Amino acid sequence: MDKLPCLPVKITAKKWADKLQDGSVFMRSLYDFGSWSAIERHNRADSQMKDGVQGDIGEGIVKTVDPKVGDEFFNCFDPEIRAVMKGMYYIDENFYQYSKIYCMYGLTYLIHEKRFEQPDERLLDFGDTAVIIYNPNEFLSRVLNALRGKYGDNVNFRCDEVRYYPPDYYGDLDEFCKSSSFSWQNELRFRVALLDGDDTVTDEFGLVRKCLIRDHSPITLDIGSIRDISVQIPTDDLIGLRLPDFLLP
């Protein structure tokens, strides 16, 4: 299916949409979304971070294993326990949960059909307002400049589209992989890892690297107003594809 690169769309409550257009980019740690904090989210009845919308206990999975086959570790379990295991996977404890994440919807234009792909109605669960960023390169540049200004070169940054894997996939995963049950989110993601410039470690290849700062605290970037490269519309209009004419290619 031929398509143009996605337009980033932040779907949130109106007050946060206004803050974004004023230049405030708020990034949570992946810890807040994944299994590491699932019990905390449940105990405080956090509807915003509920599983299936923003919360995802699959965040941080680095490998899935076929329960019918197992592996060296899981095959050490008692057969009666293995018999009731519906899934086998490994969750990273050393890196992903400390990474700061900024999640957006990807508004996709289908070239041959000359139309935007239909957004899912469940996007309303994220908020009533959509900020469509129609100059993604400039937005990325402003984010990177803000990171550089605040943290210098003590940052590891990555941005990409999230890839969705089917239930029968077994193998390696990273922080840009999610279950296909979340594919309706069509997510674009920034990932920021903050590094300690005074603390280094030598890796397996003999390279000296800065150590990750293991902190779950969120960060906020001030990238300056983005009203010149974005437009705000109700989420209902996004789902109904009632979009400003200038967004059409």
| Extended beta strands in the chain, E state | 7-12, 24-29, 61-65, 88-91, 100-107, 109-110, 115-116, 129-133, 155-161, 163-165, 177-179, 187-202, 208-212, 219-222, 230-234
pLDDT at 99: 95
Characterize 208-217 residue by residue with b for buried, 16 or more Cβ atoms within 10 angstroms of its Cβ, and e for exposed: eebebeeeee
Burial of residue 172 (CB within 10 Å: 0-12, 13-18, 19+) is exposed
Whether residue 49 lies inside any domain: the answer is yes
Whether residue 24 lies inside any domain: the answer is yes
CA distances from 167 to 80, 121, 140, 178 (A): 23, 23, 33, 10
Cα(44)–Cα(42) distance, rounded to whole angstroms?
6
- 34 or 17, greater pLDDT: 17
**Can you tell me the mean pLDDT for 189-197?**
96
Count how many domains the chain has.
Answer: 1
**Can you tell me the mean pLDDT for 94-121?**
93
Whether residue 84 lies inside any domain: the answer is no
Q: Are 157 and 190 in contact (CB under 8 A)?
A: yes
Q: How long, in residues, is the chain? A: 249
pLDDT range class, residue 39, cuts 50, 70, 90: low
Q: Is the dihedral of CA 237, 108, 2, 141 positive or negative?
A: positive
Whether residue 73 lies inside any domain: the answer is no
Which of 50-54, 93-97, 183-187, 191-195 is the least confident region?
A: 50-54
Whether residue 182 lies inside any domain: the answer is yes
Whether residue 85 lies inside any domain: the answer is no
Domain span holding position 25: 7-55+92-242
Which of 7-21, 34-48, 162-176 is the least confident region?
A: 34-48
Average pLDDT, the chain: 89
pTM exceeds 0.95, yes or no = no
Q: Are 107 and 130 in contact (CB under 8 A)?
A: no
**Can you tell me the mean pLDDT for 41-46?**
60
DSSP single-letter state for residue 231: E
3-state class (DSSP) for residue 135:
coil
pLDDT range class, residue 2, cuts 50, 70, 90: low
**Can you tell me the mean pLDDT for 56-73?**
84
User: Is the pLDDT score of 160 beyond 90?
Assistant: yes
pLDDT in tens, 86-99: 888 888 888 888 99
Whether residue 83 lies inside any domain: the answer is no
For strand 177-179 and strand 163-165, is the pairing parallel, antiparallel, or unpaired?
parallel
Q: Are 110 and 2 in contact (CB under 8 A)?
A: yes
- 188 or 61, greater pLDDT: 188
Cα(190)–Cα(155) distance, rounded to whole angstroms?
12
CA distances from 48 to 145, 177, 239 (A): 30, 21, 20
pLDDT range class, residue 54, cuts 50, 70, 90: low
Strand-pairing partners, residue 132, are: 9, 231
pLDDT range class, residue 52, cuts 50, 70, 90: very low
pLDDT in tens, 117-151: 999 999 999 999 999 999 999 999 999 999 999 99
pLDDT at 86: 80
User: Is the pLDDT score of 51 beyond 60?
Assistant: no
Whether residue 109 lies inside any domain: the answer is yes
Which of 9-18, 41-50, 153-162 is the least confident region?
A: 41-50
